[in-house]
């Protein structure tokens, strides 16, 4: 495993995402991912599978302190007081005392950002989340969130893969010492049909998905969180630490 260090957080660079996983799949696949070597698990209130993820964490047989756990607050809980209550509800569902990283899932223009960021900081100050950040924030909103936050923000989670240029976001995050967490890193399977990725993969005995993940991990300060409902795919996605892409690739 390799790690990304961002504003005091040490984040496993490859995590397991649970977006759109039904509870039964979330529980089984989280446990399987932990068994395969993953130590970073990502979920969200909006996914409606936090309770199942919590069961999967227990079934995985890995000490809680060795797992980096992320969840996200949905936009309807962004007011001060309501946000903190929602986090306690998430912790109850996850059956844990804290999350390692708590994110604002999307911007919500109907709630003042300074109010939401203050509530996010309060959650961190209470020890309910060790680190805080945002998701799907544009570069101006990243700047605004950093300005309003008394504690460091560690990441912005956005869609990122070889078909989507996120250089402006990467540059802005680097300016603030933040990481980029890439969701949909396999472009919903498109990476497996791309001839260039397949050609590069053949040179390393890898598939296009593994090449795409390796490409992300060779960026500075990028975390990737692929998800799958198939144990073999989960294992394949983890087999990206035994090769490196050349500069040309």
Q: Which residues are catalytic?
A: 47
Identify which of 248, 229, 221, 198 has the alpha carbon closest to the alpha carbon of residue 133.
221
Q: What are phi and psi of 245, to 5 degrees?
A: -80, 145
Letter string b/e over residues 2-26, b meaning 16 or more CB atoms within 10 A of that residue's CB: eebebbebebbbbbbbbeebebebb
Cβ atoms within 10 Å of 193's Cβ, excluding its own: 10
What is the side-by-side order of every strand in the sheet holding 16-17?
16-17, 40-42, 68-73, 99-104, 129-135, 153-159, 179-183, 222-224
Identify which of 31, 90, 92 has the alpha carbon closest to the alpha carbon of residue 56.
31
Q: Given the structure tokens 């795409």, which residue do they identify?
A: 212
* Euclidean distance between the first and the last CA atom of the chain, given in angstroms as a whole number: 22
DSSP state of 35: H
CB 30 within 8 A of CB 16: yes
């Amino acid at each position: 495993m390799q790690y990304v260090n961002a504003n005091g957080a040490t984040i496993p660079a490859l995590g397991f995402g649970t977006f759109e996983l039904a509870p039964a799949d979330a529980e089984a696949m989280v446990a399987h991912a932990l068994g395969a070597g993953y130590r970073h698990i990502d979920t969200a209130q909006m996914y409606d599978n936090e309770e199942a993820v919590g069961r999967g964490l227990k079934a995985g047989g890995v000490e809680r302190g060795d797992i980096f756990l992320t969840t996200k607050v949905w936009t309807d809980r962004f007011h001060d007081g309501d946000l903190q209550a929602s986090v306690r509800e998430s912790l109850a569902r996850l059956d844990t005392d804290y999350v390692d990283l708590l994110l604002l899932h999307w911007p919500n223009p109907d709630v003042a950002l300074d109010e939401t960021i203050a509530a996010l900081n309060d959650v961190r100050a209470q020890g309910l989340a060790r680190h805080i950040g945002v998701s799907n924030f544009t570069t101006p909103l990243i700047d605004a969130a950093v300005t309003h936050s008394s504690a460091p923000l560690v990441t912005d989670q956005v869609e990122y893969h070889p078909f989507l240029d996120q250089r402006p976001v990467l540059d802005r995050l680097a300016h603030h010492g933040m990481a980029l967490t890439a969701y949909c890193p396999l472009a919903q399977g498109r990476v497996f049909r791309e001839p260039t990725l397949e050609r590069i993969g053949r040179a390393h005995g890898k598939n296009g998905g593994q090449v795409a993940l390796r490409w992300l991990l060779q960026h500075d300060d990028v975390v990737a969180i692929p998800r799958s409902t198939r144990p073999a795919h989960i294992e394949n996605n983890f087999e990206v630490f035994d090769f490196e892409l050349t500069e040309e690739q």
